[in-house]
Amino acid sequence: MQTVIDVPAWIDQRRLSRTQLLVLVLCAATAILDGFDAQIIGYVAPALAESLKVARPSLSTVFAAGTSGLMLGCLFIAPLADWLGRRRVIIGSVLFFSVMSLATARADSLEAVIALRFLTGLGLGGSMPNIIALTAEYFPARSRATMTMTMFTGFPLGASLGGFLAAHLIPQYGWPSVFIAGGLLPLVLGALLWLRLPESIRYLVAKGTMAARVEAILRRIDRQASFPAGAKFVSHEEHAHGLTVRHLFREGRTLGTIAIWVMYFMSLLDIFLLSSWLPTVLHDRGLSLGLSVVATALLQGGGVVASLSLGRVVDRLGFLVVMLPTYVVAGVAIALIGSGGDSVILLMVTTFLAGAGVIGGQTCLNVLAAVYYPTYIRSTGVGWGLGIGRVGSIVGPILGGLMLHAQWDHSSIFLAASVPAFIAAVAVFVMTRTERTRLAQVSAAEALASPLD
C-alpha cells in the first residue's frame, strides 16, 4: 500500500529546524527592505523638492503614487503566487523594486519620480503578502503566529533604520544616494533569495506533482527523516480551480472575508491617520516639537512591542480571542490622547497603548489572513486584505486634514480617530460568530485543529 504523509501534521510534530529559521530570516530581511523602500520617499522629500525646484505640496502626488502602486501590487501581483509559487513572486518583486529604486536615483523631473514610485509600489505590494504567507506555511501551528508576527516587525524596523541611513547619506551625497542604497540592498538580497529561499512546501504539496521537491525539503527540516519509495505527500485542505478572488467568498468564507477587509481598512486608516497628523495636532495643542515627535515614536514603539509579545499569546489562545480586546484597548487609548489634559506622562502612556493596540492588531491580522485561507488562495487572501487596507491608508490622512481644516477641537479629533478601532473590534466579534457557525459544520478533529477557534 502507498504511504500517505500529511505534511502539515508532520511539520507540527517536529522541532524547529535551521531550514525553517532560514525562511524566517530571509523573509524578515525582505520585510526590512520593504519597510525601507516604502518609507524612503518621506525621508528624501525636502531635499527632493529643493533639487527639482517644486513646491513641497506637489510631493503629495508622489506619496499617493507609491501608495497606489503598493495597493495594486497587493491586489493583482501578489495573487500570482497562488499560480506561480511564492518563491518566484517574492524574488521577482524584490528585484523589480530594486531596479525601480535605482532608476529613481536618476530621475530628473517630478513626473519621472511619480511614475517610478508607482512602479516601486507594485513591487513592494507583490512581495509583502507573500512573505507573510510563506512564513506562516513553514512553521508548526504551535508557533506560527509568534514566528510570523516576529518576521513582520522587520517592516517598521526597516522604515525606522531608513531614517537613520537617510540622515547620514543626504548631507554628504544628496538624495539620490538614499535610492541607490534602497536599490543595491534588495539587489543583493534578491540574489541570496534565489540561492537559499525554498518554495512554499504547502504550495508544492497542493500542486500534487512535486513529490521529489517536497521530500527534499522535509529532509532538510528533519535530517533523520526517511520516507518509503513512492510516498504520497498530502495536505488535507480545500482545493479548487478558477479565478482565485472568487474563492475568497466560497465555502462559508463570505462574512469572514468581509470582516477581514473591514479590519484591514480600519486598522490602516487609523495607523496612517495617527502617523501623519499626530505630531502636528500635539504641537498645535502646545506640546514642544521634540515631545510631539517622541510621542509619535512611542506610537510605533508600542506597535513593535505588541507585535513581538502578542504572537505567543495568539498561539495559546487564538487570534480572535486576542484581537477583540486589542482593538478595544486601541480605541480607548486613542480617545484618551485627546482628553489627557496637560499631563505629558499620561499622553505618552496613551500614545504607546494606542500604537500597541492598533499596530499590534494589524500585525495579528496579517497572520490571521494567512491561516484563514487555504493554500491555493492564501496569497490572494492576504494580498486583497492588504490592498483594501491600503485604501484606508489613503483615506486616513485625508480625513485628518479635513478635520483640521474644519477646526475641530483636539478632543473631538481623537474621539473620531478612535471610531475605526472600535469598528475593527466589531468586525472581530462578527468573525468570531461566523467562525463558530462554520466550524460547527465540520468534523470535531478539524474544529480542534483550527487556529480560529
Domain positions in the chain are: 4-204, 245-449
Give the CA dihedral 213, 218, 220, 226, nearest 10 degrees: -110
Q: What is the DSSP string of 264-287?
A: HHHHHHHHHHHHHHHHHHHHHTT-
- The CATH H-level (homologous superfamily) assignment of domain 245-449 is MFS general substrate transporter like domains (1.20.1250.20)
Instruction: Report residue 92 as a C-alpha cell.
Output: 521577482
State the amino acid at position 1 in one-letter form.
M
Domains 4-204 and 245-449 share a fold: yes
Closest CA to 202 of 77, 81, 320, 95: 81
Cα separation, 393 vs 414, whole angstroms? 17
Residue 450's pLDDT is what? 45
Q: What does DSSP assign to residue 370?
A: H
Question: Which residue did the predictor score with more confidence, 32 or 276?
Answer: 32
Residue 452's pLDDT is what? 53
Position 127 confidence tier, pLDDT thresholds 50, 70, 90: very high
**CATH class, range 4-204:** mainly alpha
Q: Which residue has the cell 521530500?
A: 215
Query: What is the Rg, in whole angstroms, of the alpha carbon atoms belonging to the chain?
Result: 22
Q: What is the pLDDT of residues 296-308, one digit of tens each?
A: 778 888 888 999 9
Cα–Cα distances (Å) from 180 to 45, 82, 352, 388, in that order, read 15, 32, 34, 30
Position 69 confidence tier, pLDDT thresholds 50, 70, 90: very high
Q: Which residue has the cell 490622547?
A: 337
Answer whether 74's CB lies under 8 Å from 128's CB. Answer: yes
Cα separation, 421 vs 417, whole angstroms? 8
Cα separation, 53 vs 47, whole angstroms? 10
Instruction: Tell me what percent of the residues of the chain surpass a pLDDT of 90.
Output: 62
Answer whether 34's CB lies under 8 Å from 155's CB. Answer: yes
Q: Which residue has the cell 518583486?
A: 93
Closest CA to 70 of 91, 49, 93: 93
| pTM score | 0.87
Cα separation, 427 vs 435, whole angstroms? 12
- Please return the burial class of 448, using the count of CB atoms within 10 Å of its CB with bins 0-12, 13-18 and 19+: exposed
Q: What is the pLDDT of residues 390-430, one digit of tens each?
A: 999 889 888 988 898 888 988 899 999 999 999 999 999 99
Residue 405's pLDDT is what? 83
Going by C-beta distance under 8 Å and a sequence separation of 6 or more, which residues neighbour residue 435? 256, 320, 450, 452, 453
Answer whether 117's CB lies under 8 Å from 39's CB. Answer: no
User: Collapsing DSSP states into helix, strand and coil, what is residue 234?
Assistant: strand
Q: Residue 289: pLDDT above 80?
A: no
Going by C-beta distance under 8 Å and a sequence separation of 6 or more, which residues neighbour residue 148? 132, 135, 136, 139, 311, 366, 367, 370
Q: What is the pLDDT of residues 327-382, one digit of tens each?
A: 999 999 999 998 866 788 898 999 999 999 999 999 999 999 999 999 999 999 99
Q: How far apart are the first and last CA of the chain?
A: 35
Q: What does DSSP assign to residue 4?
A: E
